[in-house]
Amino acid sequence: MKKVNQLYHIVSIIRKLLILFSLFLVFNGWGIYSGEGAYALFMYSNLTNFSFWVIFLMGSVLLIPLGRFFCALCPVGEINYLMSKIGLNKKINLKFSILQAFTLLLVFLLVITFNISRHPHLTTILIICAFSLSAVMGLIFNGNSFCLLLCPASAFLKFYGLFSSVKLSSEGDCNVKNQCPVLLNPCDIKKEDCHLCLRCFKDSKGLKLSLTNPLKGVSLPDFNRADFFIFSVLTGLTFMAFIRVVRDVREIFVYIPYKITEILSLSHKLILPLTTFFGVFIYPLAFFILSAFLIKIFDRQSFGKYISYFIFSTLSVHMILALVKINSRIKFLPYAVLDPSGKDVVTLRLAYNFDIPGDIIPIEYFRIILFILPVFFYSAGMVKIFKEKLPVTIPLGLLFTFIFFFIEYIIIKWLFVFI
Ligand code: SF4
Ligand code: SF4
C-alpha cells in the first residue's frame, strides 16, 4: 500500500511536468506549416507533431496491454481534474458520453479535410482546444467531465481497456476517502473503466494494483446504446483507414454514394463526404444491427453483449495501423528530440539529400507480424466465444470468420500492392 501511495505521488508529479511539456509543445509547433518536398518532413521531425500523432495517438493503442496507461499520465485529464476542484461542480449526465463518437469523427474529418496532422501549427491549435475545453468543462462540471463526455481517445480506450494487464482491485476492508474523478467506486470497478490515475490511493485502505494476464478473465461488456454507437463509429473509422487505399474494397464502399449522386444529379464532389458518412455511420451500423438481429434468433444473447465480441476485430485493425505508423516513424524521434522545431532535418534534406529515417523492422518481416495479428485476435475471440458456452455459437463463429478473412484480405492487398 505504501508503495502504491508513493507511485501515486510520482504519477501525479509526472502529470504536472507533462502540463509544462505540453505548453512547450504549443510554443514549439506555433507558426510551423509543412510544405512540399523536404518541408513535408515537419510532419514528423517537429516534436509537437511527433508527440501528438505518433507517441500519444498510436502509442495509446500499442500500449493497450498496460490499459489506460496514457490516461494515467495525461496532462489534459489533469487540467480537467484540477479545474473541477475549484469549479461549480454541476452534475454531469453520462448519457452524453455519446458525444465521444462525434469528437472522434471530428478529429478524423479535420485530418482528412484540413490535413491537420501534417502541420505542427494546426496540431498546436488542436492541443490548445483540448486543454481549453477540458479546463472550461472542469470549471462547470463535477469529476473529469471532459474525459467522460468528450475525449476522443476515451472513445477507444474504454473498449480496449478490457485487455489491460494492470488491474486495480479491492481486498479486505476497502475504504476510499477520495472521490474518483471518473465517478467510479474504486472498491468495485471493471478494469476497462479505470483511468489508472491512482488518486483513490491517496488516504485509502484495501486497494491494490496488480498485473494479470491481459486475456485472462476478459469480461465482455453489455453495451448500452451510447457504447454501441461509439463502437460502431470507431469500427467505421478504423476500417476506413484501410479502405481508402485498397482499391477493389474501396469501389464496393463507394458504389452506393456514387449511385446516390447519380440518381439525384448531385455534384461528384459530394462522393467523398457521402462515402465518409456511409463508411463511418451507415455501413458499420447496418452490419452490426443486421447481424445482431440474425444472431439473436440463434444465440439468444442480448444485443449489447453480442456486439462487444467485435472489439477483438476492431482492435486488431487499429493495432495494425498503430504498428505501421510507429514502425515507419519512430526513427524520427532522436531528430525531433535534438531539434524540436524539426528544421534541422529539413535543412539536411535540402543541403545533402539526407536519407529520410526508414522502418525499424524491415517490411519483409513486418508483413508477417501484421498478418499474424488478426490471427491472434481471432483465436482469442473464438476461445472467448466457446468459453461462454452459448447454446448455438455457429452463426457468431461464421460472422467472426467472415470479418477475419475480410481483414486478412485487406492487409494482404494493402501490403503487397501499396507498399
Ligand atoms: S480520457 Fe482523454 S483526456 Fe482523459 S485522461 Fe484519458 S486521454 Fe486524457
Ligand atoms: S478508480 Fe482510482 S485509479 Fe481508477 S480512475 Fe478512479 S481514482 Fe483513478
- Ligand 1 atom nearest to CA at 130: 3
Q: How far is CA 78 from the centre of its chain?
A: 19
How many other C-beta atoms are found inside a 10 Å radius of the C-beta of residue 203?
Answer: 10
Looking at residue 2, its pLDDT comes to 61
Structural element, H or E, at residue 59: helix 59-62
Q: Which ligand is nearest to the CA of 197?
A: 2
**CA torsion sign, 50 to 56 to 61 to 65?**
positive
Please report the pLDDT score of residue 82 as a whole number: 95
- For residue 186, how far is its CA from the centre of ligand 1 (angstroms)? 18
- Reported residue count of the chain is 419
DSSP 172: E
Sign of CA dihedral 278, 283, 284, 289: positive
What is the spatial distance between Cα 314 and Cα 305, in angstroms, rounded to a whole number? 15
Alpha carbon distance 70, 120 (integer Å)? 21
The CA-atom distances, in angstroms, between 268 and each of 241, 245, 252, 279, 366 are: 21, 19, 17, 17, 38
For residues 279 and 255, the answer to whether their CB atoms sit within 8 Å is: no
The pLDDT, as a whole number, for residue 133 is 97
Q: From ligand 2's centre to the CA of 193, what distance in Å?
A: 9
Give, as one character, the DSSP assignment of residue 52.
I
Ligand nearest to the CA of 152: 1
207 CB neighbour count, 10 Å cutoff: 21
Cα–Cα distance for residue pair 146/154, rounded to 1 Å = 10
Quote the CA–CA distance of 182 and 409 in Å, as a whole number: 40
Residues 219 and 414: their CA atoms lie apart, in Å, by 33
Q: What's the Cα-to-Cα distance from 342 to each of 27, 29, 122, 213, 363, rounded to whole Å?
A: 13, 9, 15, 40, 26
Q: pTM score > 0.85 for this model?
A: yes
Distance 330 CA to ligand 1 centre (A): 23
d(C-alpha 416, C-alpha 419), whole Å: 6
pLDDT tens-digit profile, the chain (419 residues): 566 678 888 999 999 999 999 999 999 999 999 988 888 888 899 999 999 999 999 999 999 989 898 999 999 999 999 999 999 999 998 889 999 999 998 998 888 888 899 999 999 999 999 999 999 999 999 999 999 999 999 988 989 988 889 888 888 788 777 779 999 988 888 888 899 998 888 877 788 888 887 777 677 788 888 888 999 999 999 988 877 777 788 888 899 999 999 998 888 888 888 988 899 999 999 988 888 887 777 766 677 777 888 898 899 999 998 998 899 899 999 999 999 999 888 888 888 777 888 888 888 788 888 888 889 888 888 887 777 665 556 777 788 888 889 888 888 887 766 54
Q: What is the pLDDT of residue 284?
A: 92
Return all residues near 413 (Cβ < 8 A) that are at least 6 apart: 246, 247, 248, 249
Strands (E), 157-293: 166-175, 205-211
List residues near ligand 1 (CB under 6 A). Answer: 70-71, 74, 76-77, 144, 146-147, 151, 153-154, 195
Cell numbers that stand for 301 in this block: 444473447
List pocket residues of ligand 2, CB cut-off 6 Å. 168, 180-182, 184, 186, 189, 194-200
